[in-house]
Amino acid sequence: MFVYICNMKKIDPAEISQWHDTYYEKGVESRRVTLDQIKPYLAGLDDPFQVHKIGESFENRDIYKLQFGTGAIKILLWTQMHGNESTGTKAFLDLIRLFMFPNSFDWLKQIILKECTVHCIPVLNPDGALAYTRVNAQNIDLNRDVIDIKAEESKVLQKILVQVNPSYCFNLHDQRTIFSVGPGSMPATISFLAPSVDEERTLTEGRQETMKVIAAMNDLLKQVIPGRIGRYTDEFYPTATGDNFEKMGHHTMLIESGHAVGDYERKQSRKFTFMALLEGLRYISQAEKEVDYRQYFDIPNNEKKYLDVIVKNITLGSEKQDLGILFIEELKGEKVIFVPSVDKLGSLEGYNADRFIDGTELHFIDKNDVEKWAYNHFN
């Protein structure tokens, strides 16, 4: 049984990073995560967790909600709204593992369990997770279905939103390799967003509270990955989930798990998503007042200046150019493969990449010739 300790304590980033390196949930590590993979973890949970089936997907796969804590602050978290964005699910399994792990960060677990009731829907889009697609089986993007609510999965989420009436929401996504953080165009390993409630991007009191939570998460992460944390565009999307939930009065944080050099299984962004979630829960639980919402704007904007490979100084026709290649994820059988795609041709000054190749000896007739070379060279 937990004994509540009342103190204002902070997470040591080195300590929690080391814990994760050693004890993260090793049974689920691939880029593709399906409902069947996580069912054994949900079935094996006991106190302080409760697991309930809350609905079914379009193709009749189960959707579950996991609950823990007994506090007055209601929090709703969901993962894999986009079926091919699995990092948040793995990070949440790591969060569960921490709470089940004895004699580790007890002070933190105690305060979260006392002050909060956390509800999580892991793999909201199980059909898309199986097919490894962004959309559900009806070809609907659940993140643009909050107004029409055509998808079965959207109906489940809306039902739980009404039942729980959360003060805070965590909406977990993955973002593509191309997103960078300037200056220096480092890969955006984690990005955050406090969604707008209107086209004017008004700084309502609710949005300011959302920004405070994100500022706290950023304060922790910048100690371990400086220069690799970005701020996603807060352009208002009238049909987006986060924008509308924020508009309804639920402080909604988007966490975008991104790329780190050479990390195509996203082990690094998994760890930092886990750390961000834990810090967000700590901040909310302790009702910390030290954070100024304006610190949110200190997080650099996302740019799109990162590529998987840059080939410098190829000859295309009679001109010298740079070639930028992005790897596109495709499901082949049960495995996710990365297919090279020509993304940019021209001067790539200011762009960064996992790998640079000297292309001065490469001569191509046309773009089709370039695409053929890229496909053969990286497969």
| CATH at 163 | 3.40.630.10
* 347 and 201 within one domain: no
Q: CB atoms < 10 A from the CB of 1, how many?
A: 4
pLDDT band at 277, cuts 50/70/90?
very high
Asked whether residue 19 carries a pLDDT value surpassing 50, the answer given is yes
pTM tops 0.85: yes
Structure-token match 């302790």, residue found: 286
- Residue 80 confidence (pLDDT) above 90: yes
Percent of the chain with pLDDT over 90: 94
Q: How many domains does the chain have?
A: 2
- Give me the domain span that covers residue 123: 13-303
Q: Within a domain: residue 2?
A: no
Q: Computed from CA positions of residues 344, 350, 354, 359, in that sequence, does the dihedral angle turn out positive or negative?
A: positive
Same domain, 273 and 317: no
> Which one of 260, 285, 303 terminates a domain?
303
> CA distances (Å), 33 to each of 85, 125, 129, 347, in order?
9, 11, 6, 37
Q: Is residue 60 part of a domain?
A: yes
Model confidence at 339, in pLDDT bands (50, 70, 90)? very high
- The larger pLDDT score, comparing residue 214 to residue 3, is at 214
Q: Is the pLDDT of residue 6 over 60?
A: no
Q: Are residues 133 and 178 in the same domain?
A: yes
Res 3: pLDDT: 39
| Of 3-17, 40-54, 227-241, 309-323, the least confident | 3-17
How large is the average pLDDT for residues 285-289? Answer: 86
197, 243 in Cβ contact below 8 A? yes
Angle between helices 35-43 and 87-100 (to 10 degrees): 10
Instruction: Find the farthest-apart pair of alpha carbons in the chain and give their distance in angstroms, rounded.
Output: 74
Asked if residue 319 and residue 259 are part of one domain, the reply reads no
- Rounded to the nearest 10°, the torsion over CA 117, 169, 144, 191 is -140
The answer to whether residues 305 and 350 touch, using CB atoms and an 8 Å cutoff, is: yes
Give the pLDDT confidence of 158-211 residue by residue, as tens digits. Answer: 999 999 999 999 999 999 999 999 888 999 999 999 999 999 999 999 999 999
Assess whether pLDDT exceeds 90 at residue 1.
no
Residue 75: its pLDDT value, please?
Answer: 98
Which pLDDT score is estimated for 82? 98
**292-302 pLDDT tens trace:** 999 999 999 99
Q: How confident is the model at residue 288 (pLDDT cuts 50, 70, 90)?
A: confident
Q: What is the pLDDT of residue 7?
A: 53
Residue 206 lies in a domain: yes
Last residue of a domain, one of 269, 303, 337: 303
Q: Over 70: is that where the pLDDT of 64 sits?
A: yes
Asked if the model's pLDDT at residue 324 lies above 60, the reply is yes
- Which whole number is the average pLDDT over 133-153? 98
Q: How many residues does the chain have?
A: 379
> Are 180 and 187 spatial neighbours (Cβ–Cβ below 8 Å)?
yes
Judgement on whether residues 56 and 176 belong to the same structural domain of the protein:
yes
The CA dihedral of 267, 271, 276, 282, to the nearest 10 degrees, is: 160
The C-alpha atoms of residue 354 and residue 318 are separated, in whole angstroms, by: 28
* Distance separating alpha carbons of residues 348 and 358, to the nearest angstrom: 13
| 135 shares a domain with 159 | yes
The reported pLDDT for the residue numbered 196 is 98
Answer yes or no: do 96 and 232 share one domain: yes
Whether omega before 340 lies within 30 degrees of 0, making that bond cis, reads: no
Whether residue 25 contacts residue 44, with contact meaning beta carbons closer than 8 Å, is answered with: no
Residue with tokens 């979630």: 277
**pLDDT at position 5, please?**
40
Residue 228: partners with Cβ closer than 8 Å, 6 or more residues away: 181, 186, 187, 188, 189, 190, 260
Looking at the structure, tell me whether residues 108 and 197 fall in a common domain: yes
Q: For 108-118, write each residue's pLDDT tens digit.
A: 999 999 999 99
Is the domain of 296 the same as that of 313?
no
Is the model's pLDDT at 318 over the cut of 90? Answer: yes
